[in-house]
Amino acid sequence: MTGANRGLGLEFVRQYAAEGVHVHAACRNPDKADALNALAASSKGLVKVHAMNVADAASVTACAKALEGTALDIIINNAGIYGPKQQSAGDMDYAGWAETHAVNTMGPLRVAVAFKEHLKRSSTRKMVAITSQMGSIAQGGGRGFYAYRSSKTALNMVINLLANDWRDEGITTLAMHPGWVRTDMGGPQAPLSPEESVSGMRKVIAALTPAGSGTYLDYAGKPIAW
């Protein structure tokens, strides 16, 4: 689990640990992840906290090496950013746009590749990326937020390509929209709580089969048009 120190990531860790699942929870700064550390301390060894910055290749490689030999049933690429304040056509922070893609698009691929062998040690072999319906081209009607939207559109393509490339190795991929959730990113006006969103996503992940690899679903299992 990446981006495990807050929001949806933290809720995933909480719910899985509550069911007795062993969770490897990664975030950029474990020393500052008070809520995650408290959860790990009370988990009776179920939750292990790791340092990993998905935009830093050396960091991802180091975490993968630290877990060498470990079988991972599910990888959830959750770490992400909304991008710079200026991300309209006429007022774009291009450096911020590049950073958004580094975290939201390249980061998940980097994690997937680094932990591929860990997945292959499991019989489950599921690689999930938390995306957004704001990355859907088919839905149309969107305006602004070029950096965030384009990063998620590109992430969707990454997930679809991995499904094709890794199908023969038994790895199932999924791009999942969590809904509009009351997190730091979603804001207080969002209709869904993290508990509701994650509970729904966990059910979809549990039901995912190789036949559904490379699909784009929301937290309730509803397909989203690319």
Residues 6+ apart with CB under 8 A from 203: 221
Which pLDDT does position 188 carry in this prediction? Answer: 86
Structure tokens at 86: 């200026």
Residues 6+ apart with CB under 8 A from 198: 8, 11, 12, 15, 178
Which pLDDT does position 7 carry in this prediction? Answer: 95
Q: What SS3 state is found at 128?
A: strand
In CATH terms, the fold of domain 7-218 is Rossmann fold (3.40.50)
Q: Do the Cβ atoms of 166 and 173 come closer than 8 Å? A: yes
pLDDT in tens, 91-141: 999 999 999 999 999 999 999 999 999 999 999 999 999 999 999 999 877
Which pLDDT does position 55 carry in this prediction? Answer: 98
Cα angle 151, 153, 157; round to 5: 110
Tens digit of pLDDT per residue, the chain (226 long)?
999 999 999 999 999 999 999 999 999 999 999 999 999 999 999 999 999 999 999 999 999 999 999 999 999 999 999 999 999 999 999 999 999 999 999 999 999 999 999 999 999 999 999 999 999 999 877 899 999 999 999 999 999 999 999 999 999 999 999 999 998 878 888 899 999 999 999 999 999 999 999 999 999 999 999 9
Amino acid, single-letter form, for residue 136:
S
Predicted TM-score (pTM) of this structure: 0.95
Task: Taking each helix axis as running N to C, give the angle between helix 57-66 and helix 107-114, from 0 to 180 degrees, rounded to the nearest 10.
Answer: 30
Residues 6+ apart with CB under 8 A from 98: none
Residues 6+ apart with CB under 8 A from 222: none
Q: Parse the chain into domains and list their residue ranges.
A: 7-218
Which pLDDT does position 186 carry in this prediction? Answer: 82
Residues 6+ apart with CB under 8 A from 151: 83, 100, 101, 103, 104, 105, 135
Which pLDDT does position 142 carry in this prediction? Answer: 83
Which pLDDT does position 206 carry in this prediction? Answer: 98
